[in-house]
């Protein structure tokens, strides 16, 4: 049985995240110190002490979650745990690349800060929106988006996160997202929940951000990953550094196919998933996709007790 390390995306941040890891383990502390040096200000202080409104700014959130996730990974790796596969949800795919040795931590921290800036600047505040559609399958949500676009010519709305059965997030222009939500509700969705986000991620409105980010990412020094990365854009393994980076570029304006990523990992023999970083969002999604697999979340020193379970899952 194989093990996959998986990394959370934006929305999992919270003040105090992974502080106890940094206090307990030098390898985790070094990650935060490297992140501070890379951005030129005490990002670690923002992670550990807030203020929350600063931490939730996209340009801060993205490098903060990356640092926290890699801090958790380094603590686990230093104690002998090793992945067969890695993957990350949206921003979390950056953490996966750092864990796999494809991109240097400092370069990744600087790049995701730019990523956050470019995504925030792609759409004026208030023009875009995202909403979670619960209780409706992917094709039905896509159909609702198609209808909303046909009613509102020139407006954008599309599935952005295909997270799990009956859980799809849509993104686009605020009016089109609202209309697609109404159509989905009329079509049987249990709930439509507007999300408190600063921009409509993973849709066509992010193409300006993707275009700005592409030359920056293609200029990074990359190595081939030490273990394969299953990418969000196509749920296919990336075994070369260059193709992993290209997947990151395309990811900015493409939907996150998380259900397909998890399904692919299970098809490759993964029976144990280890979520590394703040929160337990991915653990919940993975269990919705397949209840037969084991999921362990590691974000604090006490969670490292799960190491024996992780190692015991390997043949």
Give CA 111 to chain center in angstroms: 15
From 202, 253, 254, 297, active-site residue: 202
Instruction: Give the whole-angstrom CA distance, residue 168 versus residue 50.
Output: 30
Beta strands at 128-134 and 157-164: parallel, antiparallel or unpaired: unpaired
Q: What is the DSSP string of 262-292?
A: HHHHHHTTEEEEEEESS-SHHHHHHHHH-TT
Instruction: Give the whole-angstrom CA distance, residue 230 versus residue 228.
Output: 7
From 44, 69, 90, 198, active-site residue: 90
* Phi-psi label, residue 79: left if phi above 0, alpha if psi -120 to 50, beta otherwise: alpha
Q: Under a CB-based contact definition with an 8 Å cutoff, are residues 115 and 209 in contact?
A: yes
Instruction: Give the whole-angstrom CA distance, residue 155 versus residue 110.
Output: 32
Instruction: Give the whole-angstrom CA distance, residue 241 versus residue 279.
Output: 28
Closest to 262 measured CA to CA, from 271, 251, 249, 250: 271
CA separation, residue 300 to residues 17, 19, 101, 128, 242 (Å): 8, 8, 23, 35, 33
Q: Is 173 a catalytic residue?
A: no
- SS3 label, residue 131: strand
Q: Under a CB-based contact definition with an 8 Å cutoff, are residues 28 and 18 in contact?
A: yes
Q: Is 202 a catalytic residue?
A: yes
Annotated active-site positions, please?
A: 90, 202
């Amino acid at each position: 049985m194989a093990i996959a390390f998986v990394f959370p995306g934006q929305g999992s941040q919270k003040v105090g995240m992974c502080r106890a890891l940094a206090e307990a383990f030098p390898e985790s502390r070094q990650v935060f110190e490297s992140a501070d040096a890379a951005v030129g200000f005490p990002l670690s202080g923002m992670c550990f002490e807030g203020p929350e409104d600063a931490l939730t700014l996209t340009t801060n959130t993205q490098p903060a979650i990356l640092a926290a996730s890699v801090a958790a990974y380094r603590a686990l790796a230093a104690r002998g745990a090793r992945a067969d596969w890695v993957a990350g949800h949206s921003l979390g795919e950056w953490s996966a690349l750092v864990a796999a040795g494809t991109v240097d931590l400092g370069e990744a921290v600087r790049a995701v800060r730019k990523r956050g800036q470019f995504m925030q600047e792609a759409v004026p505040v208030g023009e875009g929106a995202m909403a979670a559609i619960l209780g409706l399958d992917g094709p039905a949500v896509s159909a609702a988006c198609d209808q909303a676009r046909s009613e509102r010519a020139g407006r954008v709305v599309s599935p952005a996160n295909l997270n799990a059965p009956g859980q799809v997030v849509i993104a686009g222009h605020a009016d089109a997202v609202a209309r697609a939500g109404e159509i989905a509700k009329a079509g049987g969705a249990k709930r439509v929940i507007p999300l408190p986000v600063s921009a409509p991620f993973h849709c066509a409105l992010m193409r300006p951000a993707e275009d700005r980010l592409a030359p920056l990412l293609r200029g990074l020094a990359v190595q081939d990953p030490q273990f394969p990365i299953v990418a969000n854009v196509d749920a296919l393994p990336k075994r070369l550094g260059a193709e992993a980076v290209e997947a990151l570029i395309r990811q900015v304006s493409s939907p996150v196919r998380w259900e397909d990523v998890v399904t692919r990992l299970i098809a490759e023999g993964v029976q144990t998933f280890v979520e590394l970083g703040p929160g337990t969002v991915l653990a919940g999604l993975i269990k919705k996709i397949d209840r037969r697999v084991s999921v362990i979340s590691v974000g604090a020193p006490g969670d490292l007790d799960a190491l024996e379970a992780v190692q015991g899952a390997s043949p």
